[in-house]
A and B are shown apart, each in its own frame.
Chain A
Amino acid sequence: MEILNITNQNFESEVEKSQVPVLIDFYADWCGPCRMMSPIIDEIAEEKNGEYKVGKINIDQNQELAMKFNVMSIPTIIIFKDGKPEKTFVGVRSKSEILDAMK
């Protein structure tokens, strides 16, 4: 499944007004742990295809969004339901832990 590139511009349409829940990975290119999280996010996107949208937010380019959701550590994963943050994970997490929260 395609991983969406979420920005300040498309956040409202892709996340806030999404018909399905959305999982967002807040990351930066310079962040080593984020690179370890990335393949896990890819696998989750594949497994949850249709049930969830999965997107990434580059915090360097979208600082407003990082501030809005109090992201102060990366990687941070937030699950949005009905456009609102429902569950937050800080730091690299296992696929199973995140999938459990998506049930």
Chain B
Amino acid sequence: MYDVIIIGSGPAGISAGLYTARGNLKTLILYYEHNNITKANKIENYYGFEKGISGKELYENGINQAKNLGIELKKEEVIKVEIETNNMYKIITSKAEYITKTVILALGANKKTLQIKGIANFEGKGVSYCAICDGFFYKNKEVSVIGSGRYALSETNDLINIAKKITILTDGQKAPEFRADNVDIITKPIKQVIGKDKIEKVLFKDDTELKTDGIFIAQGIANASDFARKLGIIINNNNIEVNEEMETNLKGVYACGDCTGGLLQISKAVYEGAVAGLSAIKYCKKIHNNFAKK
């Protein structure tokens, strides 16, 4: 069991980890894709680098700094974050499951609304971002899941015993390896979604169509807002809502960096990571009194 699991290894996540580890919390950092920062050719507006520094180098320095401090880092895709009993959280990754007292979400900017024509018009009217929350409404109906990775398969699994039929729409991506009696896979690129009061069908670029009662969006890897939505954390304008202590409305869950919106800068991410780390320390001390037995 961990005191804190930090999801994300950019400036916010590493900064949080530096504080929690130095505060004696048993810390795990989970990361998967390269951080946005690595795309920055040269960073010239961050304190202390007189000649600037490449994003990749700054990112790698951060990872090494965390490793030097003895922080555990694992490259695993996080698929689910669940509430356990006794104020604990369960993190399910592509490889394992972990139990933790606190969670710090530092996964970078949230995805924008899927750029498929019509999707935005049907949010809450057949377009859903959470199978476990909304699956009930599609009992014995035919639904689609847009996506092709592990996250899409996880959403499919949450629907498999509820919906009559599920079609995974990869929208031009490679079909995942997945077999179940009531699951089909279509790899054709999507043109748009159509309906009146609620969603009715998906139109593909080759002008064929698929009737559907609901669409679950699960493209790529899950990001902070995907986890937040399932946990009941408040999202405002696609940003996770936090207070000055970087606390979300769910006790023991913090968010920092680009996923909270505002200034998308390293300095802000580092600051928020530090605050989130300190808040997690305070919380662990207060609620649990003693740290995890190592």
Contacts and interface: CB of A to CB of B under 8 A. Distances in A.
B124 A88 contact: yes
Interface string B103-140: 00000000000000000000111101010111011000
Interface stretch (A5-13, A14-22, A28-36, A49-57): A28-36
A72 B235 contact: no
Interface residues of B, number: 26
B137 A31 contact: no
B136 A36 contact: no
A94 B133 contact: no
B133 A31 contact: yes
Interface string A68-103: 001111101000000000001011111001000000
Contacts of B232: 32-37, 92
- Tell which of A30, A31, A73, A97 has the most Cβ of chain B within 10 Å: A73
B231 A70 contact: no
Contact of A36 (B128, B130, B198, B249): B249
Interface in B177-215: 197-198, 214
Nearest to A93: B234
Contact of B124 (A36, A66, A73, A97): A73
Given A88-B124, A90-B124, A74 B83 contact: no
B94 interface: no
Contacts of B124: 72-73, 76, 88, 90-91
B230 A91 contact: no
A91 B234 CA distance: 8
Contact of A33 (B123, B214, B229, B236): B229
A74 to B, nearest CB: 6
Interface in A37-68: 37, 40, 59, 66
B292 interface: no
A91 B132 CA distance: 13
B233 A36 contact: yes
Given A70-B125, A88-B124, A97 B236 contact: yes
Given A91-B229, A92-B229, 10 more contacts: A33-B231, A36-B234, A66-B137, A70-B197, A72-B126, A73-B128, A88-B124, A90-B123, A91-B235, A93-B236
11 contacts: A32-B230, A33-B231, A36-B249, A59-B136, A66-B137, A70-B125, A73-B124, A73-B137, A91-B235, A92-B234, A94-B234
Interface of B: 83, 123-126, 128, 130, 132-134, 136-137, 197-198, 214, 229-236, 241, 249-250
